[in-house]
Amino acid sequence: MRITIGIKVVDHKEEKSLEDPDNIIKVKEVQNAVIKNLNENDIKSIKTMNSMLPVIFGEVSKSGFEKLLKDKNVYSLEVETEVYITN
């Protein structure tokens, strides 16, 4: 299944922007930690965003999804769905 993984990185009480260089480094570190906990059968087609939205995009297996549910660095998991429009 294709999902978007939201990453816990920035303390929202802080005034720093996600585009702040220090926060971008922290986002990358947390993204790498999340990805490192998954094996090649757990996630494929990995893409990351480091600023504005600290997320990872990918296709995950059931076991990968279960691992992500337990990962303390994961803020949210959004399953992508296809929408069909008919006339």
| Per-residue model confidence as pLDDT tens digits over 28-76 | 899 999 999 999 999 998 888 876 778 899 999 999 999 999 999 999 9
Which positions ≥6 away from 41 have C-beta within 8 Å?
61, 63, 64
Report d(CA 13, CA 49) in Å as an integer. Answer: 22
Alpha carbon 50 to chain centroid distance? 10
- Which of the four pLDDT bands, split at 50, 70 and 90, describes residue 9? low
Sign of the Cα torsion 62, 64, 69, 75 reads negative
Give me 53's structure tokens. Answer: 């939205």
Residue 15: per-residue pLDDT: 52
* CATH 3.30.70 fits domain 2-79: yes
